[in-house]
């Protein structure tokens, strides 16, 4: 099993001291975290995309590129790319570049994101939430499939046989689908033969067993040779002792 | 999240991986029984978590949790292969789609 870490690089206010860590400090700390994870032999480090003042990373590929230069083995993934409000060509180019810089360690985790700031920021309508994700995911897969792309869709200008560069080192560059509460997303990921990153951040994990089954069955039904991989993504904190755990307050984010 | 919810989430059947390295190992393996997943990603920095505490969590995760989990998962897969001929399912294959 691969074991890794993901983060959104928050810079929220410490309730005890009242201080807010600066964006610069948080990014410096983040690179240190990735370096440590790599040194310890952890397998994966993921960085998520947000467009809010309390989150420092809106450009995961850039952070991962910085980490690529300071690490040797750890895989570097988005967690997630909010592909709905981005250009799949740019996302692919960015991560192909990280892949080259890292010697073949980049991955894309495509998700919808849990906040909606990117929609008005990049000029998209919330009503198109579902079709944007669907269309852009399919486009991303085509970009990975071949150097030249011909594309016609609803949400992005058409492309007629243009090449997208540079090509990543990995053939193929891993593309995962992040799934939260919607079972249809698990089915779609499986039908496309894509590995699924299942976020389990509340409730009882056992209730998500059906998501794993739906994913596997959809892949089998669609005729994929091998079952696509499954990741579970959760929250946590590891203390050296039970006492340390009980005296460390687990912070809560504001309700979304 | 109330304190009661928080405590419940930290139990074996809850969603959060809060505890000592051994407790986290146990929970990952408990979930592996259910999901046979290929990868587990943990998020330490939810909200405000001082850098030093994150670094300490990473250290415990890398030095104590990861080796124990990998060893046990490998042992389970070897045991499965030993006792039943035929395909081992998802074991060991990371499909990138």
Answer whether A4 sits within 8 Å of B42, measured CB to CB.
Answer: yes
Domain positions in chain A: 4-179
Name the residue with higher pLDDT: B9 or A210: A210
Residue A77's φ and ψ, nearest 5 degrees, are: -125, 155
Considering the domain boundaries, does residue B91 fall inside one? no
Cα distances from A246 to residues A3, A41, A45, A240, in angstroms, run 25, 28, 27, 11
Residue A169 DSSP one-character state:
S
Answer whether A232 sits within 8 Å of B63, measured CB to CB.
Answer: no
Answer whether B45 sits within 8 Å of A7, measured CB to CB.
Answer: yes
A9: left (phi over 0), alpha (psi -120 to 50) or beta: left
Which positions in chain A touch B65 (Cβ < 8 Å)? 3, 238
Report yes or no: A138 and A177 within 8 Å, Cβ to Cβ.
no
Q: Which of B38, B47, B96 sits opposite A2 (nearest CB)?
A: B38
Cα distances from B7 to residues A13, A136, B15, B18, B68, in angstroms, run 23, 40, 11, 9, 24
Q: Among A129, A76, A136, which Cα is nearest to A102's?
A: A76
Answer whether B56 sits within 8 Å of A228, measured CB to CB.
Answer: no
Query: Fold for domain A4-179?
Result: TIM Barrel (3.20.20)
Considering the domain boundaries, does residue B30 fall inside one? yes
**pLDDT at residue number A256:** 34
Q: Which residue of A has its CA nearest to B75?
A: A1
**pLDDT at residue number A247:** 58
Question: Could you give the CA distance from residue A26 to residue A30 in angstroms, rounded to a whole number?
Answer: 6
Structure tokens at A189: 């990921």
Question: Could you give the CA distance from residue A198 to residue A182 in angstroms, rounded to a whole number?
Answer: 10
Q: Is the pLDDT of residue A33 over 60?
A: yes
Q: Count Cβ–Cβ pairs < 8 Å, chain A vs chain B.
A: 232
Q: Among A74, A26, A252, A32, which Cα is nearest to B18's?
A: A252
Report yes or no: A195 and A161 within 8 Å, Cβ to Cβ.
no
pLDDT-wise least confident of A134-138, A236-240, A247-251: A247-251
Q: Among A140, A230, A137, which Cα is nearest to B39's?
A: A230
Considering the domain boundaries, does residue B60 fall inside one? yes
Report yes or no: A78 and A107 within 8 Å, Cβ to Cβ.
yes
Which structural domain range is residue B18 located in?
A: 3-81
Considering the domain boundaries, does residue B36 fall inside one? yes
Q: Where would I find the H helices in chain B?
A: 3-9, 21-35, 51-60, 66-83
Question: What is the number of structural domains in chain B?
Answer: 1
Name the residue with higher pLDDT: B86 or A66: A66
Considering the domain boundaries, does residue B77 fall inside one? yes
Three-state secondary-structure class, residue B19: strand
**pLDDT at residue number B96:** 44
Which positions in chain A touch B58 (Cβ < 8 Å)? 5, 33, 36-37, 40, 42
The pTM assigned to this predicted structure is 0.91
Q: Among A16, A5, A10, which Cα is nearest to A249's?
A: A16
pLDDT tens by residue, A226-245: 999 999 999 999 998 655 65
Cα distances from A219 to residues A178, A189, A193, A212, A222, in angstroms, run 16, 8, 5, 11, 5
Q: For A248-256, what is the mean pLDDT? A: 46
**CA R_g for chain A:** 19
Angle at the Cα of A246 (from A243 to A247), degrees rounded to 5? 90
Structure tokens at A107: 């991955």
Answer whether B55 sits within 8 Å of A32, measured CB to CB.
Answer: yes
Considering the domain boundaries, does residue B90 fall inside one? no
Question: Could you give the CA distance from residue A159 to residue A153 in angstroms, rounded to a whole number?
Answer: 9
User: Up-side HSE of residue A225: CA atoms within 13 Å toward CB?
Assistant: 5
Q: Is the pLDDT of residue A254 over 80?
A: no
Report yes or no: A154 and A125 within 8 Å, Cβ to Cβ.
no
pLDDT mean across residues, chain A: 92
Structure tokens at A224: 């994929």
Q: Which of B18, B50, B60 sits opposite A250 (nearest CB)?
A: B18
Q: For A175-204, what is the mean pLDDT? A: 96
pLDDT tens by residue, B64-91: 999 999 999 999 999 988 865 555 544 4
**pLDDT at residue number B7:** 84
Interface test with A, best of B43, B44, B70, B90 (most A CBs within 10 A): B43
Shortest Cα–Cα distance, A129 to chain B (Å): 24
Shortest Cα–Cα distance, A99 to chain B (Å): 14
Three-state secondary-structure class, residue A254: coil
pLDDT tens by residue, A137-148: 999 999 999 999
Q: Where would I find the H helices in chain A?
A: 23-39, 60-70, 88-101, 118-122, 129-145, 183-191, 209-221, 242-247
Q: Among B69, B42, B70, which Cα is nearest to B58's?
A: B42
What ipTM does the predicted assembly reach?
0.93
């Amino acid at each position: 099993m691969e074991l890794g870490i993901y983060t959104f690089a928050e810079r929220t206010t410490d309730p005890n001291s009242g201080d807010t860590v600066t964006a610069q400090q948080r990014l410096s700390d983040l690179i240190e975290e990735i370096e440590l994870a790599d040194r310890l032999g952890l397998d994966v480090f993921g960085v998520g995309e947000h467009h809010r003042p309390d989150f420092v990373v809106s450009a995961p590929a850039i952070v991962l590129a910085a980490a690529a230069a300071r690490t040797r083995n750890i895989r570097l993934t988005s967690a997630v790319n909010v592909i709905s409000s981005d250009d799949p060509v740019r996302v692919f180019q960015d991560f192909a570049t990280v892949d080259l810089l890292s010697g073949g360690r980049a991955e894309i985790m495509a998700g919808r994101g849990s906040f909606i700031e990117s929609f008005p920021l990049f000029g998209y309508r919330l009503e198109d939430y579902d079709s944007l994700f669907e269309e852009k995911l399919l486009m991303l897969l085509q970009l990975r499939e071949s150097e030249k792309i011909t594309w016609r869709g609803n949400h992005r200008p058409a492309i007629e046989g243009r090449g997208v560069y540079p090509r990543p080192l990995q053939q193929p560059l891993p593309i995962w689908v992040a799934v939260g509460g919607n079972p249809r997303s698990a089915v779609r990921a499986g039908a496309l033969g894509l590995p699924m990153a299942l976020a389990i951040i509340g409730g009882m994990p056992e209730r998500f067993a059906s998501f794993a089954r739906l994913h596997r069955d959809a892949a089998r039904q669609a005729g994929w040779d091998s079952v696509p991989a499954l990741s579970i993504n959760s929250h946590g904190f590891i203390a050296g002792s039970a006492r340390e755990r009980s005296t460390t307050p687990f912070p809560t984010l504001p309700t979304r | 999240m109330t304190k009661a919810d928080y405590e419940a989430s930290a139990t074996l059947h809850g969603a959060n991986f809060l505890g000592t390295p051994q407790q986290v190992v146990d929970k990952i393996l408990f979930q592996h029984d259910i999901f046979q997943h290929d990868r587990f990603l943990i998020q330490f920095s939810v909200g405000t978590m001082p850098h030093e505490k994150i670094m300490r969590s990473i250290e415990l995760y890398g030095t104590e949790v990861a080796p124990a989990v990998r060893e046990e998962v490998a042992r389970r897969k070897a045991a499965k292969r030993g006792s039943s001929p035929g395909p081992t399912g998802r074991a060991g294959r990371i499909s990138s789609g």
